[in-house]
Chains A and B, each alone.
Chain A
Amino acid sequence: MSDIAIKVEDLSKQYRLGVVGTGTLAHDLNRWWHRVRGNEDPYLKIGETNDRATKGSSEYVWALKDINFEVKQGEVLGIVGKNGAGKSTLLKLLSRVTSPTTGTIKAKGRIASLLEVGTGFHEELTGRENVFLNGAIMGMTKAEVRAKFDEIVAFSGTERYIDTPVKRYSSGMRVRLAFAVAAHLDPEILIVDEVLAVGDAEFQKKAIGKMQEVAKGGERTVLFVSHNMASMLNLCDNGLFMKDGQIYEQSTIKNIVDLYLKDNESLFSTSCLKDRIDRKGNQLVTYTEVKFLDENYTPVTTLLNGHKVIIELSFMRKKTLETLKKVHFSIGVNDSMDNRILLLSTDLTQQTFSSLPPEVNKVYIEVPKLQLREGAYSFTLNMRVMGETVDWVPNAGSFNVVNGDFFCTGASLPEGQGYFLVDHSFTIH
């Protein structure tokens, strides 16, 4: 039992929704009155699970509810879940930014978090002074920072500017320096929240390398939160899948990622494109439906690779009788790891429609031979009129590709041997 680094028991966190205002005082007094008489807090009994989409009847909501888990010493635990599943709340509780409503967290060793880098940087202070200040905020002593100072500066690559006030730094340099300080913390338990996407490509590589070094070192316990499944698989041993403030599953990272992706899929296919509100653009024209058709123009739900696919995009004008000028369409396809792998665009085919009369409200994209390997894909839609974005919907939907005998040989691409199928043949001359 002694090798457990973090033990979380019945952890819950309740939040009150809506505006904190006049009602607060009344509730506070009521709460206090109950406590004086030795009763339980009346507001702890109510509250619902945290499902963002449905409107609940109660003002109180459980961002986390009865969480129990343990993390072993040296384990790298990946935490996945949709936005609002409670990941950030959990990390906040672990890093002691706020206190739990009920339950306890027990830990062995210092906890440091990389929730946000560069906290407490002061514009007027020099890089050197900020390194010390930031280090101290994160819990290092002056002597510890001094011992690592050269390493930190070298890692950040800002030697030349180290005695210049931070306000003269470019934003990239600032982030580099901040990350460098954070990365050289030496806590027994480290909490990392998607901070890897900082700086330019070169620095990102360095940062990920450093994280790997930390994670694979085996000594340190790391809790890692990210939406990037590829880096999850790469860095973590085990995973925790959170859903609506509760732990849905705890297992090996491979299982968790699979589960998470499957869960996401159902999300894509059930959400109706027309009603999506998380879209960008001026919305003068909006996408309403996406259909996949086979070569006979009959709608299909699963696509066969090696076969002809037609994508039908339906859209709707705000002003029904408008003739659209210079219309551009594009659809970007992501794989299950959320890597963009394909772009179908009128920019590429040089087919921007100079004019679309009011009666046209569908456009078809023809793919003569689908070259994707089997698997689940999601897509993002984009439309521009006269050069201006009118509609952009991320993760607008998903589709599945199954083996359609691409090579007409009955053979299929082995797992892990590539993402695309390309026609080819071998000859000798």
Chain B
Amino acid sequence: MKEKEEDWTLVIKPKSSLFDLELKEVWRYRDLLLLFVRRDFVTFYKQTVLGPTWFFLQPVLTTIIFTFVFGRVANLSTDGIPHVVFYLSGIVLWNYFAECINKTSNIFISNANIFGKVYFPRLIMPLSVVVSNMMKFGVQFLLFIGVWIFYMVQGADIQPNAYALLFPFLLFLMAGIGLGLGMIISSMTTKYRDLTFLITFGVQLAMYASPVIYPLSTLEGKLRWVILANPMSAIIETFRYGFFGEGTFHWAYLGYSTLFCFIVMYFGTLIFNRVQRTFMDTV
């Protein structure tokens, strides 16, 4: 007689179903996620003199350099938007995205010692990276808002419109794409370390293929599709369109980014869950 199915609360099998994303487990460990975020935030400026000021310093300095190099020397168009806010908006958005990718892409390797000893849903780690970077982004975003208001008061040609309300959605897209790509890359780096070298470099290059330093409208013809293929392009353009009233906004472009986001998030989670089961044997 076949033994009756018992109410096991945990079944460990060699391979889980492709569609089992273990999200319930992740929810059970939500406290851990918050604690990781807190840890990242608190330890960021411990024993530094300037403390949280560092969050500001980096975008401010980059903006100054971009304004000088691309604005003054190269004289690139910014669609009539004041150079400083134009570059600052691009840099703050891009930074968040780049940090998400860079930090999640070595999650397995940098956490091997924790992962090798205790179990918790591994997905917590990349999620915590995305959320704690959001804190940092929040601070930098406030900086942007301050500069933006300053220019508006000064009477610069800025016409914010209702599309600015898309901002939370844009943030979600950036987080999603960063997380998804990061997870895919981190899963592959456990076996093939070569990718680690490629990634920081690749993300940097990708910035030049996005409208961070020039508006999409200046590009016509063949090269335009290269920029449009970058899912960040539509996000940055939409953001600028909403906050400045200048730029290229198209629902189709944003739709592409959204689709891209969901696809990489889905496959990222899938591959990540696959790899996390046995990566301790290969890392």
Contacts and interface: CB of A to CB of B under 8 A. Distances in A.
Given A119-B114, A136-B29, A106 B10 contact: yes
Contact of A139 (B3, B39, B114, B120): B120
Contact of B42 (A120, A125, A138): A125
A97 B117 contact: yes
Contacts of B118: 95, 97, 113, 115, 119-120, 137-138
Given A108-B7, A125-B42, A101 B14 contact: yes
Contacts of A120: 114, 118
A321 interface: no
A126 B12 CA distance: 36
Contact of B120 (A1, A4, A137): A137
B281 A15 contact: yes
Given A122-B39, A129-B42, A98 B280 contact: yes
B43 A124 contact: yes
Nearest to B192: A25
A139 B121 CA distance: 10
B115 interface: yes
Interface string B40-82: 0011001100000000000000000000000000000000000
A44 to B, nearest CB: 10
Contacts of A1: 3-4, 6
A39 B155 CA distance: 71
Contacts of B13: 99-100, 104
B31 A141 contact: yes
A38 B126 CA distance: 33
Contacts of B10: 105-111
B12 A100 contact: yes
A203 B181 CA distance: 47
Pairs A-B, 8 closest by C-beta atoms:
A96-B119, A99-B277, A136-B32, A105-B12, A106-B8, A142-B31, A107-B10, A124-B43
Contacts, number: 117
Interface of A: 1-2, 4, 7, 15-16, 20, 24-25, 28, 92-111, 113, 115-116, 119-120, 122, 124-125, 129, 132-133, 136-139, 141-142, 165
Interface in B259-283: 277-278, 280-282
Contacts of B191: 20, 24, 28
Nearest to B120: A137
B9 interface: yes
Nearest to B190: A20
A124 B31 contact: no
A96 B12 contact: yes
Task: Indicate the size class of the contact surface on chain B.
Answer: 35 or more
Interface in B1-46: 3-4, 6-15, 29, 31-32, 34-36, 38-39, 42-43, 46
A102 B14 contact: yes
A119 B35 CA distance: 14
A103 B14 contact: yes
Nearest to B113: A119
Given A124-B43, A136-B35, A139-B29, A98 B281 contact: yes
6 contacts: A92-B280, A97-B118, A108-B9, A122-B43, A124-B43, A133-B35
B116 interface: yes
Contacts of B32: 133, 136-137
Nearest to B46: A124
Given A100-B14, A119-B118, 11 more contacts: A2-B6, A24-B191, A96-B12, A104-B13, A106-B8, A106-B11, A106-B12, A109-B9, A110-B10, A113-B117, A142-B35
Contacts of B117: 97, 113, 115-116, 119
B115 A97 contact: yes
Nearest to B9: A108
Contacts of A102: 14
Contacts of A137: 32, 114, 118, 120
A165 B192 CA distance: 37
Contacts of A109: 9-10
B4 to A, nearest CB: 8
A102 B13 CA distance: 7
A124 B43 CA distance: 6
B272 to A, nearest CB: 14
A408 B99 CA distance: 83
A257 to B, nearest CB: 28
**Which of A92, A119, A137 counts the most B-chain CB atoms under 10 A from its CB?**
A137
A109 B6 CA distance: 13
B275 to A, nearest CB: 10
